[in-house]
Amino acid sequence: MARRDMTPGRLAAYIVLIIWCILAIFPIFWMASTSFKPVTEGFGGLGSLLPQNPTLNNYVAVSRLLPLARNILNSVTVATVGTILTVFLCSLAGMAFAKYEFPGKNALFFLLLATMMVPPEAGVVPVFAIMRALGWINNLLSLIIPTAATAIGIFYMRQYISGFPNEVMEQARLDGCGEFRIYWQIVVPVVAPALAAWASIAFIARWNDFFWPLIFMRSKEMFTLMVAISTLPVSEGLSTPWPVIMAGTTISVLPLFVIYFLLQGYQKEGLALGAVRG
């Protein structure tokens, strides 16, 4: 970068951005660093940025406190199956709203948008009763099925698929393709980047969800990772084993960080059109 570029305004921008980056990454770094410190080592001050005697004991301790393997499996199952289902059903419905004319289309789409204003938590008591009637309490289905098709996901996919050329679909229809084959063999390959972007947003939402698994999962073995680490013993004062708890939180965020960096390329795609969340 040429030096003449460095006006006071640009300098201020760099300073603000760098400070915010440090603020963004520091708590995460602090968590990871603390998780490697022996429980007896002081962890309060900045003097101990890095552990002096790094240890893996906290990870061992947290895996004794919680059925971690099982919790991880639950979280992976909910997030993976839930994401695949929701991407499939939302893109299918998104294509329907973007590319077809049918009676009641506008009313149904308006209804879909209106549902976004109603907080799902409001009906949590009856939803619990429904889950109990279905036998889905302590069953991962209660976390996967209700969000298998979401209004926001359909809205996003509709926005994206609207740009798909009609002529291509028309040609496929003349060639004798059914509507589902048009979706599966012609639309899906082209909108794959949008599907991947939506998948990463949906995966983050499902992996990090806390309210619903807290309510539907009633035994330690069925807890998702988030509910499991929330049961770690936090108390006021020095008695809390923070390094052990930080080992738990590190395990809970690490998979997402890895996926996030692997899916970097889709980030821009993910937000350019939709500006929505799932």
Partner 1 sequence: MPSSGLLQRIWRARTIYLFISPFFILFAIFQFFPLVWSFYMSFHEWNGLGPMKPIGLQNYRFLLRDNVFHTALGNTVIYWLANGVLILPLALLLANFLAMPRLAGRRLMRSVMFLPYVTATVAVGLIFNMVFDFNSGLVNTLLNTVGLPSVPWLTSVEISKLPVIFLNVWRLTPWYTLILLSGLQGMNPELHEAATVDGAGPVQRFFSITIPVLMPILFFCFITLTIDSFRIFTEPYILTQGGPGNSSLSIVQYLYLNGFRIFKLGLASAIGYALTFILLIVSAAQIVLLLRQSGLTEVN
Residues 69-98 within binding reach of partner 1 (CB under 8 A)? 89-90, 92-93, 95-97
Tokens of 210: 């806390």
Residue type, 121: E
Instruction: Count residues binding partner 1 (CB under 8 A).
Output: 96
Return the number of the residue (118 or 192) whose C-beta is nearest partner 1: 118
Q: Which stretch binds partner 1 (CB under 8 A): 21-29, 76-84, 166-174, 186-194?
A: 21-29
CB of 192 to partner 1, least distance (A): 19
CB of 178 to partner 1, least distance (A): 8
Return the number of the residue (56 or 118) whose C-beta is nearest partner 1: 118
Q: Give the whole-angstrom CA distance, residue 106 versus residue 15.
A: 48
Q: Give the whole-angstrom CA distance, residue 249 versus residue 224.
A: 13
- The reply to whether 192 sits near partner 1 by the rule CB under 8 A is no
Contact pick of 11, 162, 257, 262 for partner 1 (by CB under 8 A): 257
Measured over the CA atoms of residue 73, residue 75, residue 81 and residue 84, the dihedral's sign is: negative
Contact pick of 84, 172, 196, 253 for partner 1 (by CB under 8 A): 253
Contact pick of 11, 54, 56, 277 for partner 1 (by CB under 8 A): 277
Long-range contacts of residues 151-154, Cβ cutoff 8 Å, at least 24 apart:
151/112, 151/113, 151/115, 151/116, 152/116, 152/276, 152/277, 152/278, 153/86, 153/87, 153/90, 153/94, 153/198, 153/202, 153/276, 153/278, 154/90, 154/93, 154/94, 154/97, 154/112
Q: Which 198-227 positions form the footprint of partner 1 (CB under 8 A)?
A: 204, 207-208, 210-211, 215, 226
Q: Angle at Cα 184 formed by Cα 179 and Cα 190, nearest 5°?
A: 115
CB of 113 to partner 1, least distance (A): 11
Return the number of the residue (41 or 73) whose C-beta is nearest partner 1: 41
Tokens of 86: 């929701």
Distances (CA, A) of 246 to 56, 70, 162, 234, 256: 12, 19, 45, 11, 16
CB of 221 to partner 1, least distance (A): 19
Q: Which 36-65 positions form the footprint of partner 1 (CB under 8 A)?
A: 43-46
Q: Which 96-135 positions form the footprint of partner 1 (CB under 8 A)?
A: 96-97, 100-103, 108, 112, 115-130
Return the number of the residue (123 or 135) whose C-beta is nearest partner 1: 123
Return the number of the residue (73 or 253) whose C-beta is nearest partner 1: 253
Letters for 150-189 (x = contact with partner 1 by CB under 8 A, - = none) are: xx--x-----------------------xxx--x------
